[in-house]
Amino acid sequence: MKIFRADYVYPINADPIKNGYVAIDDQSKIISVSDQKPPDAEHIPVEKLSGIITPGFINAHCHVELSHLHNKVPKGEGLVQFIKNLQGLRNADPKEIEAAAIKADHDMYENGIVAVGDISNSNVTVPIKAQSKIYYHTFVETFSFTPERADATFEAALQLMEQFKPQACSVTPHAPYSVSKELFRLIKKYCDTHPNKNLISIHNQECEDENKFYRYKLGSFNDLYAYFGIDISYFKPQARNSLQSVVPLLTSKQDILMVHNTCTNLKDIYFIKRFDRRINWCFCPGANLYIEKMLPKVELFIDQGFNLTIGTDSLASNEKLCILSEMGILQENFPTLGLDRLLQWATINGATFLGIDKDKGSLEPGKTPGLNLITGLDGQKITAETKVRRLV
Ligand SMILES: [Zn+2]
């Protein structure tokens, strides 16, 4: 047994405990969380720590396979240019791709991340995830905006998914602007016939032009299709935002994670509340600032009964893969966000979405959630001095 004591312990499922104790067994499973040392443990020394103890973090959205693109894509050029830049950089040396992915996995572990919802377009991360100390759910991502290619794209994704098994994995659409209705329908049918077995994670409203394209078929996405030589003559303006256009094409039988939501408005949120889909939301503020120099209207999502989570996105669009850093950006830009709330988003909410909340996301006896020590807080405020250290 090991016992830690800190200024505060944040169990997440209960109020913070001042001068709290956390006892764990040799497998890092929680034995007790309390304001006292466990009664049968007088002889066991206590590791006294200054700072707060939290459960391990859940990174709800990442692309480990893009880690080699760290510092390669210019900042602030907007999503369409970002995608063009990315495409030009994809053909790197496989050894370099692999080495960067291994380092990213290691860094996330050191940053106190215990589980990741990770997007994959290739099999490069299969062995890395199999050996990792982090839990991964892989979202095998499909994209094809050409209706005729829907079947082939979907079949290729199912085959790639086979390579990830028996790891947790599912097949998912990339984004409203990169998946045809036909492909959406194939994924929906698969979800509906495999209930609760194919979690969905989709990039949503990352820039205003995504809405502009869906509403009016105007804006920079037209240039993007032309750039890639994709014929979109079949596409009709939908007279509504992208989110409202694609949600009816998604399943009601699985949880769905909407990622980014940078240009999601109040009307979209009311639409979602009326629609029978199991929508969760993920914020990746570091990547939003990197690509679009803007942030989602986070206040709109709060206290609406939604499950809200945090992701890092990839190293192509972020300085580091660190959930604490994302929490810091959110708090800096939305000062009303308290530490309690941000910690919920960073732990139990992500675990709930990934379906691993029985074991991760909160400090409760019987769980193995990982333990993080957060130091350098100014009361409830995350500052430049705030750091995370993994205890177990
Ligand atoms: Zn992403």
Residues with a beta carbon under 5 angstroms from ion ligand 1:
313
Residue 48 alpha carbon to ligand 1 centre in Å: 39
**Residues 117-138: tens digit of each pLDDT:** 999 999 999 999 999 999 999 9
Residue 55 alpha carbon to ligand 1 centre in Å: 24
Residue 314 alpha carbon to ligand 1 centre in Å: 7
Angle between helix 208-216 and helix 221-228 axes, rounded to 10 deg: 80
Residue 86 alpha carbon to ligand 1 centre in Å: 12
Residue 322 alpha carbon to ligand 1 centre in Å: 15
Residue 62 alpha carbon to ligand 1 centre in Å: 6
How far apart, in whole angstroms, are the C-alpha atoms of residue 33 and residue 216?
55
How far apart, in whole angstroms, are the C-alpha atoms of residue 38 and residue 12?
20
Residue 166 alpha carbon to ligand 1 centre in Å: 23
Of 40-44, 286-290, 365-369, 377-381, the one with minimum mean pLDDT is: 40-44
Residue 379 alpha carbon to ligand 1 centre in Å: 32
Name the more confident of 91 and 238: 238
Residue 175 alpha carbon to ligand 1 centre in Å: 9
pLDDT for 169 beyond 90: yes
Q: How many residues does the chain have?
A: 392
Average pLDDT of the residues in 322-344:
98
Is the bond preceding 147 in cis, omega lying within 30 degrees of 0? Answer: no
The one-letter amino acid code at 157 reads: A
Of the chain, the percentage scoring pLDDT greater than 70 comes to: 100
Residue 203 alpha carbon to ligand 1 centre in Å: 6
The one-letter amino acid code at 322 reads: C
How far apart, in whole angstroms, are the C-alpha atoms of residue 318 and residue 288?
9
Does residue 123 contact residue 136 with C-beta atoms inside 8 Å?
no
Q: Average pLDDT over the chain, rounded to whole?
A: 97
Residue 63 alpha carbon to ligand 1 centre in Å: 6
Residue 74 alpha carbon to ligand 1 centre in Å: 17
How far apart, in whole angstroms, are the C-alpha atoms of residue 23 and residue 308?
29
pLDDT for 45 beyond 90: yes
Does residue 377 contact residue 360 with C-beta atoms inside 8 Å?
no
